[in-house]
Amino acid sequence: MNGQNDILEALYRRMILVRFMEETHDRLLKEGKIQLMGHFGTGQEAVAVGVTGPLRQEDILFGTHRGVGEFIGKGMAPKDIWLEYMGKKDSPCHGKGGLHLCDRERNIPGLVATLGSDFSIAVGTALASKMKGTDQVTLYFVGEGTCNQADAHPSMCMAALWKLPIVFSVCTNQFCELSYMCDHYPTGDVAPRAAAYDIPFEIVDGQDIEKTYEATRKAVEHARGGNGPYLVEYKTYRMATHFSGDPGTYVNRDELEEWGRRDPIVLCREMLLERGILSEEEDRKLRDGIQAEVDEAVEAAFAAPDPGIEDLFKDVYSGEGVIQ
């Protein structure tokens, strides 16, 4: 095994973990065992895992509402995710986060429901890192639909003007909620917008984990090296519907089938087998082990305590017990 192979295997493992976490969420929902709906990122695993692969623990990640990919990729523990999804007392947000995952230990500040309003917050964390002289990078992971929010432009402008250590990672999954990207964009690509602010950009195949990882590694290195922001756009496909209750009647079935043949996990698996990095038997064991890890985390979360009435106002305001 060389270093590259180890990285590839670790990324493959993470992609499977992401897929199994979301499949398990879907199953628990259908069985009526949990109430929290899901925005699954099926088919986008090579993007979410590839963009977070090159990050360090101290780097700051802004994730999206879609699935758990980037959160797992940044090192968030499955147990913490289930605790959060079930609103348990000992979850990272003490039961107040729900789908809006956050993890202070891993420098994941958390989602805001008003999509795009955290563009400028991410520029703020990058500015803070620069002012403090740390070598942290902020990675702003965002859907192409959200890039149409007005805040995108002043944020990119200021990031470029101040040469801030930030990477804009745009996940173009072809859909914006219940409609196609082409109904919102006169262009096929989002990335060239970066050129308006002299931000270098690249467009990569989002189904290929080696490409998503490598493009992000280069972008992160650029930002960490004091060269200012970088934007990468990853072309992928949302194989799930917008949310767990969406029947997806607007989805072109032929297109879905076509993209399904380029499932990023299947492609990575074939690559690992072909290169002799993994055998069929090792793959089976790996998958069994990962499902067992997910099931164990689910069980632990079910058994964990719920928050009490005394937790209601905790962490809502800075300082405890602000409301008298």
Binding site for ligand TPP (CB under 6 A): 64-66, 113-116, 143-146, 173, 175-177, 238
Q: Looking at beta carbons only, is 91 or 236 nearer to ligand TPP? A: 236
Min dist. Cβ of residue 108 to ligand TPP (A):
17
Min dist. Cβ of residue 117 to ligand TPP (A):
7
Min dist. Cβ of residue 45 to ligand TPP (A):
13
Q: Looking at beta carbons only, is 84 or 144 nearer to ligand TPP? A: 144
Residue appearing with tokens 């902020």: 138
Token pair recorded at residue 188? 């096929």
Q: Looking at beta carbons only, is 125 or 146 nearer to ligand TPP? A: 146
Min dist. Cβ of residue 162 to ligand TPP (A):
25
Exposed e or buried b for every residue in 79-88, given b needs 16+ CB within 10 A?
bbbbbbbbbb
Min dist. Cβ of residue 155 to ligand TPP (A):
15
Instruction: List, as one string, the DSSP characters of 195-222.
Output: GGGT--EEEEETT-HHHHHHHHHHHHHH
Q: Looking at beta carbons only, is 65 or 74 nearer to ligand TPP? A: 65
Which amino acid would we find at residue 273?
Answer: L
Q: Which residues, 6+ apart, have CB-to-CB distance to 167 below 8 Å?
A: 137, 138, 139, 140, 216, 219, 220, 222, 223, 229, 230, 231, 232
Please say whether the beta carbons of 115 and 101 come within 8 A: no
Residue nearest ligand TPP (C-beta atom): 143
List, in sequence order, the alpha helices (H) in 53-151.
Answer: 69-73, 78-85, 119-132
Min dist. Cβ of residue 52 to ligand TPP (A):
16
Token pair recorded at residue 22? 């979301």
The continuous run of DSSP H or E covering 263 comes out as: none
Phi/psi-derived region of residue 75, left when phi > 0, alpha when psi is between -120 and 50, beta in every other case: left
